[in-house]
Structure 1
Amino acid sequence: MTADTATGPGPGTGPDLALALDLDKLFAARLYAARARPYLATALFALHTVASRHVPTMAVDRHWRCYVSPGFVDRTTVEDLAGVWVHEVSHLLRDHHGRSDRVARERGLTGPGERLRMNIAADFEINDDVFGDGLVVPQGAVLPGALGLPVGNLMEDYLRWFQLGPRIQELAWLDCGSGADGLDREWDLGADGAHGLSEQQRDAVRFRVAQGITGRPGSAPSGWRRWAEEAFHPPQPWRQLLGAAVRSAVSAPGAGEDYVYGRPSRRSVSLPGVVLPSLRRRPPRVCVVIDTSGSVSDAELGSALLEVAAIARAVGGRRDLVTVVPCDAAAQVAHPLCRAEGIPLLGGGGTDLRTGFAKALSTQPRPDAVVVLTDGQTSWPDTRPPCRTVVGLFPRRYETGEYAEDDPDYVPDTPPDWARVVEIGSVPVAR
């Protein structure tokens, strides 16, 4: 975490070989950190320390072991060590190793260079608000401003904003261990090594820390408070939920069913001379109503178009079965889905999705399910539509003033009970 070893002897060389780990100094720094951040005390004391001359400074693995360089401890002040303690345990609490593994799979990031980027991005997420208020910024701490990036963002965001280059070379010394980027190190003791925490024990530590944060509101930075809320209410993968909700709607009894005479009913044999139709499945049709009012951002409209394509996949890839209705205070034309990019999302005024529902239900053939993508700042129909309804909500927070409209006291109605509601947003991660 600090750059001291970048200019001094490397790990395993020089005078470091003759040093023993100063546990008194190291544990005094941990006590200092626990006093400065009492809500992290459970996590700090759950870490098991391992002396290692292979690590540049301090590093953690996913099993909650903390590998410590004796030379680093010897030349670092107690105050700086306290900051490093908090930094390293933050990697584990925020599941940076698991998140790095997911990002690597999703974006095809491979190799140690990409893992270094993940380590740097994870450090940016931690360091932008973890210090201060009794906890000093350790020497060499990596901050987003070093690359001209804004503060207050997640590791996944920072990864999109910088690449390996000349400015990153001076950070090549950085190594917070596999607990920060998910890549196993040669010094890791592994899952079967001594003093590692089981998955259940790790979850218990996170829960205790979250309890400490929520039990003393206002004593933790906003990033930690958001993390604690998500620890108590783990977010679910919304894209899978939305897809499941659409599939459930279009496969429900009555959806995509009609009577046809092409194949008479077997009951016709009991009524000579009478041909009875049979009930047959047909491909289900979906109408997507997209909120294009001024309160919906361009980024959210772009996300809505991506969801239209995902909805088409949920009904078997039949784009001819999907229509799209842009709607603000009035519904626009119902567009058949050829290419999601070609749908004109006109609007920008107020919001009244009741007109969108009316337009969707008047399309021919009538849809078997209606999917509404909105921020929720709208009036809803008074009666239940004659088909299944799924509402994808762009997240808004009333307590942060994101509900504005024209009235500062405006609070939108919640979606009706007859709709299946899924909150749309970025892939959820604990911060």
Structure 2
Amino acid sequence: MSPDEPGRPAREAGPAAAAALDRDKLFAARLFAARARPYLATALFALHTVESRRVPTMAVDRFWRCYVSPAFVAATPVEELAAVWVHEVAHLLRDHHGRGDSYARRHGLTGRAERLRMNIAADCEINDDAFDEELPRPPGAVLPADLALPEGQLMEEYLTRFRLGRLTEHLAWLDCGSGADGLEREWDLGPDGAHGLSAQERDAVRFRVARGITGRPGDTSESWARWAEEVFHPPQPWRALLGAAVRSAASGPGAGEDYSYGRPARRSASVPGAVLPSLRRRPPRVAVVIDTSGSVSDTELGSALLEVAAISRAVGGRRDLVTVLSCDAATRVVHPLCRSEGIPLAGGGGTDLREGFARALRTRPGPDVVVALTDGQTPWPSAPPPCRTVIGLFDRTRLPTWDEDDATYVPDEPPSWARTVMIGGGRAGR
């Protein structure tokens, strides 16, 4: 690929290419970047620069070293260099190397071509809101629109939407380093090289940047605000959280407990002529109320059926102890759990889970735990049920809140007496 090929940053040839790194210009650009994006200043100044003629432009590794091409610095205006500084440090703050490694393991991806695809996807995540009048878009910086992709998505979401081909062939030169995709490069100094940050130091930098962002709401983009929130409240595996919440509710005091004469109580010896029952623990019964109103998508209903199976496992695999109710504005038939994929989810109207709670509590024998799987756009019971309650709330952070009858409708938060778990988002509410 020639240096002047469209879409690729210009590179000087001849004596300039062999010149020493202009550190004054490079550091002036970093200061420019810190003034344009003050919330990233801690991270920008935590990077240690390493001169390298093997990198195309600038690249980072997971240990917060920034490898810089002298020719690229010489050929690039300060404002564009500042934008590249912000771009590279964003890879590290958003842990694209760790996420790239994890994605590659889950999907069995190997080779440089797949890592290039990860680099492109990570760039799309960063660049959709990275540039403005202060930090102009550098030549060759890829935007989601260049690949006919929507804005505002994460690297993992972009990876499911495109493959290398005609739209990406001009990006074959792209290489932001191992800090962007997790694959070590030949120029990396590695974990034992000089000036790398330890894991604790890297976490401290992320924490300070996140604290700066949350401390000045409104001064940052939505994607950076979302990132900062996740630094303080990292996402957790939501299915494990849901199972843990159900198990905790089922094992709480009074849940699954009853008196039995099958084994007399030890206190009977102190009451001659009387046989006292003992308190025995039986397997807990769970009633699952699934929101089938019109505001719940088919994808979310499919996810709800998966959660029913997970709930069954959480109570020891006893499907006979789990009942399922579909509910919109009215509650449908109660189904014993035999096969979750065979449960009909009738509904499609408005939402009122109060009916679902009332019907679940009328089942006999009564439930020890009620689990509601919903998008949250519903009235809630005014008083807590006489048993433990877990709410699995479909993650709607990327969707507008709406109501089929009122465009200004904003749903109430789930009640404080229930344990809330985000389904798909992975975060426990309470």
TM score, norm. by length of structure 2: 0.87
Alignment length (residue pairs): 424
Query: For 1:88-103, what aligned pairs fall within 5 Å after superposition?
Result: 88-103=88-103
Cα deviation for residue 271 of structure 1 reads: 5.5
Q: Which stretch shifts more, 370-379 or 111-120?
A: 111-120
- Say if 1:391 and 1:57 are closer, same or farther in 2 by CA, change over 3 A: same
CA distance in 2, matches of 1:6, 1:237: 45
Q: Given residue 424 of structure 1, which amino acid in structure 2 is its aligned partner?
A: I
CA distance in 1, matches of 2:322, 2:4: 59
CA distance in 1, matches of 2:65, 2:168: 27
Q: Which stretch shifts more, 52-61 or 203-212?
A: 203-212
Which residue number in structure 1 is paired with residue 342 of structure 2?
A: 342
CA distance in 1, matches of 2:104, 2:274: 64
Cα deviation for residue 174 of structure 1 reads: 2.0
CA distance in 1, matches of 2:378, 2:347: 14
Cα deviation for residue 67 of structure 1 reads: 0.7
Cα deviation for residue 279 of structure 1 reads: 3.3
Cα deviation for residue 258 of structure 1 reads: 3.1
Query: For 1:202-281, what aligned pairs fall within 5 Å after superposition?
Result: 202-268=202-268, 275-281=275-281
Which residue number in structure 2 is paired with residue 371 of structure 1?
A: 371
Task: Give 5+ residue unaligned stretches, structure 2.
Answer: none
Q: Is the 8 A contact 1:5 1:56 kept in 2?
A: no
Q: Given residue 205 of structure 1, which amino acid in structure 2 is its aligned partner?
A: V
Which residue number in structure 1 is paired with residue 198 of structure 2?
A: 198
Matched, 1:121 2:103: no
User: CA offsets per residue over residues 88-119 of structure 1, 9 Å max, x none?
Assistant: 01111212122223333444434433322221
Q: Is the 8 A contact 2:96 2:180 kept in 1?
A: yes
Q: Which stretch shifts more, 26-35 or 203-212?
A: 203-212
CA distance in 1, matches of 2:248, 2:65: 44
- Say if 1:51 and 1:292 are closer, same or farther in 2 by CA, change over 3 A: same
Q: Is the 8 A contact 1:3 1:173 kept in 2?
A: no
CA distance in 1, matches of 2:382, 2:23: 68
Cα deviation for residue 245 of structure 1 reads: 0.6
Which residue number in structure 2 is paired with residue 82 of structure 1?
A: 82
Query: For 1:16-415, what aligned pairs fall within 5 Å after superposition?
Result: 18-165=18-165, 167-268=167-268, 275-396=275-396, 402-404=401-403, 406-415=405-414
Cα deviation for residue 366 of structure 1 reads: 2.2
Q: Is the 8 A contact 1:121 1:155 kept in 2?
A: yes
Q: Given residue 191 of structure 1, which amino acid in structure 2 is its aligned partner?
A: P
Task: Give 5+ residue unaligned stretches, structure 1.
Answer: none
- Say if 1:405 and 1:258 are closer, same or farther in 2 by CA, change over 3 A: same
Q: Given residue 424 of structure 2, which amino acid in structure 1 is its aligned partner?
A: G
CA distance in 2, matches of 1:4, 1:87: 21
Cα deviation for residue 3 of structure 1 reads: 9.1
TM score, norm. by length of structure 1: 0.87
- Say if 1:46 and 1:372 are closer, same or farther in 2 by CA, change over 3 A: same
Q: Is the 8 A contact 2:322 2:337 kept in 1?
A: yes
Cα deviation for residue 326 of structure 1 reads: 1.0
User: CA offsets per residue over residues 101-154 of structure 1, 9 Å max, x none?
Assistant: 333344443443332222111111011111123211111111222321111111
CA distance in 2, matches of 1:241, 1:257: 24
Cα deviation for residue 374 of structure 1 reads: 1.6
Secondary structure of 1:200's aligned partner: helix
Q: Is the 8 A contact 2:79 2:134 kept in 1?
A: no
Q: Is the 8 A contact 1:16 1:53 kept in 2?
A: no
CA distance in 2, matches of 1:133, 1:340: 54
CA distance in 2, matches of 1:319, 1:245: 18
- Say if 1:223 and 1:24 are closer, same or farther in 2 by CA, change over 3 A: same
CA distance in 2, matches of 1:331, 1:181: 49
CA distance in 1, matches of 2:326, 2:19: 69
Q: Given residue 300 of structure 1, which amino acid in structure 2 is its aligned partner?
A: E
Secondary structure of 1:245's aligned partner: helix
Q: Given residue 227 of structure 1, which amino acid in structure 2 is its aligned partner?
A: W
CA distance in 2, matches of 1:153, 1:164: 18
Q: Is the 8 A contact 2:235 2:425 kept in 1?
A: no
Cα deviation for residue 418 of structure 1 reads: 2.2
Secondary structure of 2:113's aligned partner: helix
Q: Given residue 190 of structure 1, which amino acid in structure 2 is its aligned partner?
A: G
- Say if 1:417 and 1:317 are closer, same or farther in 2 by CA, change over 3 A: same
Q: Is the 8 A contact 1:374 1:392 kept in 2?
A: yes
Which residue number in structure 1 is paired with residue 422 of structure 2?
A: 423
Cα deviation for residue 157 of structure 1 reads: 0.8
CA distance in 1, matches of 2:149, 2:178: 25
CA distance in 2, matches of 1:335, 1:223: 42
Cα deviation for residue 257 of structure 1 reads: 2.8
User: CA offsets per residue over residues 198-242 of structure 1, 9 Å max, x none?
Assistant: 333333333333344345444332222322333344444433322
Q: Given residue 92 of structure 2, which amino acid in structure 1 is its aligned partner?
A: L
Q: Which stretch shifts more, 316-325 or 155-164?
A: 316-325
Cα deviation for residue 69 of structure 1 reads: 1.6
Q: Is the 8 A contact 2:115 2:183 kept in 1?
A: yes
Q: Is the 8 A contact 1:287 1:371 kept in 2?
A: yes
Q: Is the 8 A contact 2:241 2:426 kept in 1?
A: no
Secondary structure of 1:307's aligned partner: helix
Q: Which stretch shifts more, 405-414 or 63-72?
A: 405-414
CA distance in 2, matches of 1:193, 1:87: 24
